[in-house]
Chain A
Amino acid sequence: MLFGGFLAVPVFGVLLILVSKSSRQALMIMLAAALGGALLSGILAAQVAQAGVIEVAGGLFRADHFSAWHMIILAIIVFLPSSVYAYTYFGGGKGIDLGYAKRFGMLWLGAFAAMSTALLSGNIGIMWVAIEASTLFTAFLIFRQGNAASLEAMWKYIIMCSVGVAFAFIGTLLMAAAGQQAGLEGGDSLLLQKIYLVRGALKPSLALTAFIFILVGYGTKAGLAPMHNWLPDAHSQAPGPVSAMFSGFLLNAALYCILRFLPLFSPSDGGASVLQGGEAGSMLAGAALASSKAQIILMGFALLSLVISSAFIFFQKDAKRMLAYCSVEHMGIIAFAYALGPIGTIAGLFHTLNHSFAKTAGFFSAGSLGKKLHTNELAGFSGASKRYPLYAIGFAVSLLALIGVAPFSVFMSEFMLVSSTVAAQRFLPLAIFLAATSIVFLVMLKHAIAILWKNAPGEEKAVTPDGAPGGMSGGVPPISEYLVIGLPLAFLLVLGLWMPHGLSDFLTKALDSLWSMK
């Protein structure tokens, strides 16, 4: 019933959009559907929190704390604000023609449907179908009529992700084959939980090969280096809301799929032994330090992502490309956390949330800024705080949040990550992690400072000596933009200082549901 809703709401929305009369109408419908999705995922999370696991169709669709967590991030934290932002980005429909509005609305909702299906499927085949579908739906979101570069980016996105995800399908098939070898019957071999139950009987080499295909495949979509090359192009060329949605969740969805396979290689009974209420002490005292080969490989990709992204961020001149590489970096960080095993999982979960918050706010403000200033060059953004205080300050603050400045919660999740890494005694990766994040810190801080305070290019003197918001010349942004940029940052600030008990409880259960499939 609930699961059906996740498909029904977008489909209903798409149908309505098809018959909509104006761009404004189409966008409104899109907005309403997004709101519906957000409500649904809220209900889902509440139910999961009550009942634990919800399964339908014999486990074909399945929701536990881990998927509910991602569902919340998808629907409430990324998709709804992105929809709101899209509405204003397109000037409430004034800026675009009906055809584009319809197309955008339909693809947008389609992407939502695909991603929620991926999160809620208990069947790895359906998971694959959903991920591939999300690629196809989102491809044309990148494209803007008459923009050659966006077309190029789109093509790269389609080809790379299709090939990558095709590899993931090979991996899925191999995993199913391994499941059948281990005695699963027919369709059961595609059910993740069933495979988990027989994981001791899986042929290690086959299962690992399957995992490698899955990792490289979905990793392409998740933007892990060296399969990330489509990402900066797509993010930089797509319209603001699309970039935000890509970075805020599309990547997470693919990473989610990889992570779902990790417990199959977990040597002992996953999280349960490590987990006693999520307290730092007992978490650190956990003995499950041994990593599976799968975790080691994931760690390798995570580190490579960190290194490569930090290098590219270092000399990046384009704001949205920089944010894109920053996504590569953060995907690396999240993968890093999970690669530590159950110890790092809470950090990973928390970081996923924080990154989505910060990145959506970052892309919203960068998108608007780019649109207003007619450039995406970072150099062109400098001193923008005097003319477009909301966007410029929003962008700079989200950069600060992304690089882990306290008291934003990214700092906290990175703190958790560092202590988990130390607890797992992975010192070399820790060193690489710290070096890479420090380099990113150095560069992004420089940009944030320039955006906030440097004089705009071509201006010798500051516009207003006070730097007060009085010198604004770009018109007052709509209240919704204040909300979609300000609220995430406010949440980051609050979460950095205040973790409600319910939330930490939920995270602990999510950890458990990932590693022991409960």
Chain B
Amino acid sequence: MNDILAKLLPLVVALVFAPLAMGIIQKVKAFFAGRKGFPVFQMYRDLYKLMHKGVVYSRSTTWVFRLAPLLVLGVSLIAVAWLPFGGLRGLFSFQGGFIFVAYLFGLARFATLLASLDTASAFEGMGANREALFAILAEPATLLAFAALILTSGNSSLWGAISWGQESSFAEFGVVPLLALVSFFILALSENSRIPVDDPTTHLELTMIHEVMILDNSGPDLAYIEYASALKVWFYLVLMANIVTAIFSISGWAQILAMFGFAFLLASIIGVVESSITRLRMKKVPDFIGSAVAFALLALVLEGIL
């Protein structure tokens, strides 16, 4: 029983802290913009508010539109439940789990795309189109980066790969996880619709990707989606933090603390990046995501050679 509770911890942590990480990103961006910005806990309030609103469904939509938010949130919950948090194991772990989780995210994407096409709106169709297009590069990058990480460790699950860092030295394989880390960072930006791929706060619909897809969602549906987004950001933050702690061979309670530290640090870095560079032109986006593929490929080839 205790065991299961322990395994549930990463999920609980994510549920609690994910909106906070979003708040941190916002705060950092506001700081660089010279504004005071929202409080860091603003997102909790937003979610609460949205849960108390009603929903508006367009005549054009069908059950697909209503199913999508549920599926998206469900998938995000499962993903963060799977992801180990420092020394804490995820709820479940098996060989090839990362493939399954990546495909679950694919399922969520599929649902989001269909939901946005269901609205019969040109804007949302456009967003869906871009999302689907960029995924063609993001998917292989994700899988290859995971594979580099996992195969380097000689394990077949992420848990094994992360705990490997505690026995082995940084110098031996260090460059491979580092490359994977870079790859994941780029993916964290692109998969979570951050600058330079997408601008979640813009007001020009023509330039949006993710936000434009959910224009028609409202009330609890929107809350689900927003929460799912936050969880996904958290997923990437924790993933990267895991790699960093593994590289530095931190263990025990220190590891848990370090995880939080790195996660929030990475959130701030994302904020900094968002503040310091501009959005890329749509045509340039594939190059950017492509670099994630390149890093992951490099990692895998180096893994093969070393």
Given a CB threshold of 8 Å, the question of whether A touches B is answered with: no
